[in-house]
Structure formats: C-alpha cells, structure tokens
Amino acid sequence: MTLTQQLSTLINKTQLVVSQEQIDLLVQYVELLNKWNKAYNLTSVRDPSDMLVKHIMDSLMVGEVLEGKNFIDVGTGPGLPGIPLAILYPERNFVLLDSLGKRITFLRQVVFQLKLTNVTPVKARVEEYQGEQPFDGVLSRAFSSLNDMVSWCKHLVTTEQGRFFALKGQYPQDEISQLPENITLVDSHEITVPNLVGERHVLVLKKLH
C-alpha cells in the first residue's frame, strides 16, 4: 500500500473528516520528514509507515479537544503536533516554537513546499518568546512534566480564554497532584490512535489567577 492508502485506512478508523487534499499534504509532510531525517535527525521514528501512526494520527486525534483559533506548539521538534493540526484546521493559526535551528529550517521548508499560510515557525526559547497577543491554547508533547509546561509557558495565555493542552501517554496522576495552586485541570481526554500501542491522554489546564 502507498502511504496515501495507508493514511486513508487509518483515518477511516476514526471520526475525523479529512479531505483528499489534506491527506495528500500530510503524506507530503511525512515524505519531507523522512528525507530530511536522514541528515538532520529530526525524529527517532525512521519508517514512514510508523510516522503515519506515531506522528500524524497521534497529532490529528488531539484536534477533537482543541478550542480557539490561535495556538502555539511549544518544543514542536519537527512540527508535532502543529503541522498535522494546521493541515487539518486551515482556519486556525499555529506558531511552532523550537530552540533548535535545524528544526526551524526544516519547518520553513515544509511551510514553503506545502504552501501553509497558517503556520509560523519561530526559533526561540519559550521563556524568552513573547507572542503578539495571548494564545487561545499552548500545545505540547515535549515537556517532561506538567509543572514544567505551565511554569515555562504561563506568559503565553490569559486566565480567561487560554488553555494548556498537554499530550501525555498514561494518565499522569502524580504530576496533576503537584500542579501549582493557580493552575487547575479543566478536562482530561483519553484519545484512541489507530494502530498505536499504549495509552494517550490530552490534559486541558487553565490558569486561575
């Protein structure tokens, strides 16, 4: 099966609505990632078929829980989950933040080749980055702990609108119990990623004051 056929089969196992054009863009992204990975070492996942499951589907399934229009993907690496989500939701805007130049070089190439008008790659450390306006959501699967995520990213969202969307494997009960007093868990979603072994959770957090 081609990558396009494989991805279509995976998407058909979900409730996601994805156009053929979007599937083509997602496959182009995987092909670029596979090509650049040989020189740039952007991901430990080497097989494009595995990338479809572990990177593309894993990112797309987060979309169901997102609210808002403007997002920042912190520690985006090669653009995960930001690029797949930007392809799925062209009406939403995504800033992709990473401190490593080679990742941002790759992401600029992706944006150029896929003609993505709703993605802005930014090379910066998160604690030094100031957005033009607060974001509706901070996305990340890069942080080791929820505490790190909310403390490093707290300046990127407001108390009213802003949410932190943390992508996790198993439900991190210990980390939740250690959150600062001014951060509360709003919601937790267990997401099912087709053909992926292991648990996946998206935790939604907000600032109280």
Q: Which segments are annotated as binding site for S-adenosyl-L-methionine?
A: 75, 80, 126-127, 141
**CA 67 to each of CA 10, 52, 64, 108, 151: distance values in angstroms, whole numbers, following the listed order:** 24, 24, 9, 26, 21
- Beta partners for residue 140, in sequence order: 166
Say if CB 131 and CB 97 are below 8 A apart. Answer: no
Say if CB 153 and CB 130 are below 8 A apart. Answer: no
SS3 call for 24: helix
Q: How far apart are CA 36 and CA 39, in angstroms?
A: 6
HSE-up of 201 (CA within 13 Å, CB side)? 14
Cβ neighbours for 68, distance < 8 A, ≥ 6 positions apart: 92, 135, 136, 137, 161, 163
Say if CB 18 and CB 88 are below 8 A apart. Answer: yes
Residues making up the binding site: 75, 80, 126-127, 141
